[in-house]
A and B are shown apart, each in its own frame.
Chain A
Amino acid sequence: MTRSMVTDEMRSIVGKVMRETVSHPISLADIRKWVMAVYYPDPPPRQFWDEAFAATLPQGGIVAPEDFNPFAWMTAQPTPLDPPISQTAFSEAELGVDPPAYKAMLLTDIKTRHNGQAMRPGDVIRSTHKITDYFEREGRMGHMLYTTLSHELTNQDGAWIRTTDSVLVRY
């Protein structure tokens, strides 16, 4: 039987906040650049760049698309002077626990829930990352460890915006 890659120390950090990030206030330019990049080479929908048009819509102005990342380039916390952290990778070492040995890490699932709370220009977004689950399987590449990383976004009023559960496999 293959030995588990999950140690007691790793189990002890399930559910603990391993990373907290705070954005700078979202700007209209951030939103416009995001939609320009996603919709390239076509122009993005007008609701994301024309303030007068967006004001006529139910949301009453420009809001960020649901998939928008408010943490690109620089964050208020951590600052550029703090140790850098990856927005896409992770390690148990962030909570002082040795990660398992592995050759490769791949993203297999992205599961996102939204509650309709839009991100608006001027909003300051807070995010937390937690490991919420470990499970193991035998696969084509041998014994594989799957880790669910939960990433929750709230705004400056504490209103929940979205939660993304990413499943990453290490082998």
Chain B
Amino acid sequence: MQVSVGDTLPEFVREGTVDHWNRFAAANYEFAAHHWDDAVARDEGFPGAFAMAPLQQSFIYAMLRGWMGDQGRIEAVNIKLRSPFIRGRTLTTSGEVTGIIERDGSRSVEFNITQTDDQDTLVSEATAVVGLF
């Protein structure tokens, strides 16, 4: 697999809808009301209902998987959550190759990743490492 520092990954973009979040709630057994009820979320100080952090995490995994296909495996993902992903907004997960490490015949690729909404809010920052086969 050809890879160079500075390569960008295909973005993973999802709308912030309860249609989507309900599906993830069912898969992850995660039913906190602030993920679907704007009134509850506002009462907790948020502008509206917001997505589950594990779903945002899964978007990062999906982007990495979309880039590497079956040519590698995810070794590490470190996420710093900065702001909630609010209902009605669109979240774009983006990534860039920042390093390539070759050791004992194996190759690992390092990434910087951001998740930003359509109001230019930084939702999360992350780093990741993928091992290539």
What separation, in Å, do the CA atoms of A39 and B63 have in the docked complex? 10
A9 within 8 A of B: no
Question: Do A66 and B81 have beta carbons less than 8 Å apart?
Answer: no
Scan B28-62; emit 1 where CB is below 8 A from any A CB, else 0: 11100000000000000000000001110111011
Partner of A67, one of B30, B54, B70: B54
User: Given A108-B80, A111-B79, A112-B77, A38 and B65 touching (CB < 8 A)?
Assistant: no
The minimal Cβ–Cβ distance linking A144 to chain B, given in whole angstroms, is 15
User: Given A38-B62, A47-B70, A110-B81, A88 and B57 touching (CB < 8 A)?
Assistant: no
Q: Give A residues with C-beta under 8 Å from B.
A: 33-34, 36-41, 45, 47, 57-58, 65-67, 69, 71-73, 87-88, 107-116
Cβ of B3: which chain A residues have Cβ within 8 Å of it?
none
For the complex with contacts A33-B26, A67-B57, A111-B79, 20 further pairs of A-B residues with Cβ separation under 8 Å are A33-B27, A37-B28, A38-B62, A40-B19, A57-B70, A58-B70, A67-B61, A69-B29, A72-B28, A72-B29, A87-B29, A87-B30, A88-B30, A109-B81, A110-B57, A110-B77, A112-B77, A114-B76, A116-B73, A116-B75
B103 within 8 A of A: no
Q: List 22 A-B contacts (CB under 8 A).
A: A34-B27, A36-B27, A38-B55, A38-B61, A40-B19, A45-B65, A45-B66, A65-B61, A65-B65, A67-B54, A67-B57, A69-B54, A72-B29, A109-B79, A110-B77, A110-B78, A111-B76, A112-B57, A112-B76, A112-B78, A114-B74, A116-B131
